[in-house]
Amino acid sequence: MPKLPDYIGPVAFGLKMGVILPGMSIVDTIFEQLCRCHRDGLLQNGDIVCITESVVARAQNNYVTTSDIAREVQLKLGLTAQGKVAVVFPIASRNRFSLVLKGIAEAVPRGKVLVQFSYPCDEVGNQIISPDFAKELGRDLFTLEDLGGRSFKHPITGVDYVGLYREIIQSAGAEATIYFCNDPAAVARFEPDGVIAADVHNRAETKRIIRRFINNCIGLDDMFTEGQVRSEWGLLGSNMSAGNKLKLAPREGKEVVCALQRKVAEQLHVRVEVLIYGDGAYRDPSSGIYELADPQPAFAVTGGLKGFREGIKLKYLADRYYHEGKSAAEIEQILEQRKAGVLPGDSMEKEGTTPRRIEDILASLADLVSGSADAGTPVVIIKGF
């Protein structure tokens, strides 16, 4: 493929990599495939190489067990086996949180685990209980007893997450107390020995509110940040693996992307940008679920991908100048001049072009190309962006 002609816009395609296993060098493995791309004319200056976080973490052997989580919870919160720990605003997800909860419950096998769900949905849009039922109750805080034996299955997965999470806690030997409230401060009413703020995007605010009443509070991002197996994100961005293992988000992602960028430049003499991506930042219009269960779409990027993408509203300007009687050639010339200029943020020429972080756009595009079901293309190349 030669350099893209001017009449082609951005293009993204996935690279089949084969199985990537713990202990493999992720930089060398991807570089070998990029060499093939270079020989076939598929890699040029300005291309963006996007790597899914899962293969980076797997190559790093970045796994923890539920027993590891239990020890970390005991250490961070100073809990005994008879302790009472509260979990505030967990995501309703088997992949993302079931093993995290199991590890938390194993930390207090002769104690209690309190789970405070937000309602009617978790923070990414997974339905916990029926919105209509919540309105009928008409109260800020309610318990399992208030459900009157009702169970509410997730409309997409068909899973009763309230029942599932209770079973996980009880299977570890702990006593389960589950209630529903959208105010994180409500946890103080139950007088736990320690609290884990389990939400993803609002974690800082949730911890701040809880610590006004209970100082012994940590977030998922406060665990596994040190040691041989670790991540800058802690347990955020982790995924269920085989057995009782969780795969953490990659560690030292910045070093990985810079090492690959440097190797491509030195050995192939091609200037690329590199990005490690997780979930895309988009909301599914059918289910209402916000797909971003990771702390952010990109875990690490090289320097050229920092900043925001914004531009002029081509549709608006084309209509405007057409109604002013200008020809297609005249409109094209004006648009090129507008693109080259600097416009204030409130300019009508930019109306509707919300500034977005470049790394978020690219990570979302790469996630859509590779697919959440994994199309066997954990590396995506974006051209012409």
**pLDDT for 313 beyond 80:** no
More confident residue, 136 or 31: 31
**What residues pair up with 283 in beta bridges, in sequence order?**
290
Domain boundaries, the chain: 11-60+251-309+354-383, 63-247, 314-350
| Least confident residue range of 105-114, 142-151, 291-300, 352-361 | 352-361
* pLDDT at residue 347, rounded to an integer: 43
- Say what percent of the chain tops pLDDT 90: 69
Mode of pairing for the β-strands spanning 245-247 and 239-240: antiparallel
pLDDT confidence of 353, banded at 50, 70, 90?
Answer: low
110 DSSP 8-state letter: T
More confident residue, 8 or 319: 8
The three-state (H, E, C) secondary structure of 17-82, written as one string: CCCCCCCCCHHHHHHHHHHHHHHCCCCCCCCEEEEEHHHHHHHCCCEEEHHHHHHHHHHHHCCCCC
Extended beta strands in the chain, E state: 11-15, 48-52, 63-65, 84-88, 112-117, 141-143, 175-181, 194-197, 217-219, 239-240, 245-247, 273-277, 298-301, 308-309, 356-357, 379-383
Largest CA distance in the chain: 79
pLDDT confidence of 311, banded at 50, 70, 90?
Answer: low
* pLDDT at residue 375, rounded to an integer: 65
- Work out the burial of residue 133: count CB atoms within 10 Å of its CB; fewer than 13 is exposed, 13-18 middle, 19 or more buried: middle
What are the C-alpha distances in Å from 364 to residues 12, 20, 54, 57, 323? 12, 22, 15, 19, 36
Q: How far apart are CA 290 and CA 284, in angstroms?
A: 6
**Structure tokens given for 98:** 């079931």
* pLDDT at residue 374, rounded to an integer: 56
Each residue of 13-31: pLDDT tens digit?
999 998 899 999 999 999 9
**Structure tokens given for 323:** 């109604």
pLDDT confidence of 312, banded at 50, 70, 90?
Answer: low
| Least confident residue range of 178-182, 251-255, 303-307 | 303-307
* pLDDT at residue 373, rounded to an integer: 53
**Structure tokens given for 377:** 């293309």
Each residue of 94-124: pLDDT tens digit?
999 999 999 999 999 999 999 999 999 999 9
In this prediction the pTM is 0.87
**pLDDT for 345 beyond 50:** no
**pLDDT for 298 beyond 60:** yes
Q: What is the mean pLDDT of residues 254-280?
A: 97
Q: Are 232 and 220 in contact (CB under 8 A)?
A: no
pLDDT confidence of 202, banded at 50, 70, 90?
Answer: very high
Give the homologous superfamily in CATH for domain 11-60+251-309+354-383: CofE-like (3.30.1330.100)
**pLDDT for 224 beyond 80:** yes
Given the candidates 3.90.550, 3.40.50, 2.40.50, 3.30.1490, the CATH classification of the domain at 63-247 is: 3.40.50
Q: What is the mean pLDDT of residues 216-240?
A: 95
The reply to whether domains 11-60+251-309+354-383 and 63-247 share a CATH topology is no
Q: What is the mean pLDDT of residues 236-253?
A: 94
Q: How far apart are CA 385 and CA 370, in angstroms?
A: 18
Q: How far apart are CA 258 and CA 252, in angstroms?
A: 10
Q: Are 241 and 247 in contact (CB under 8 A)?
A: yes
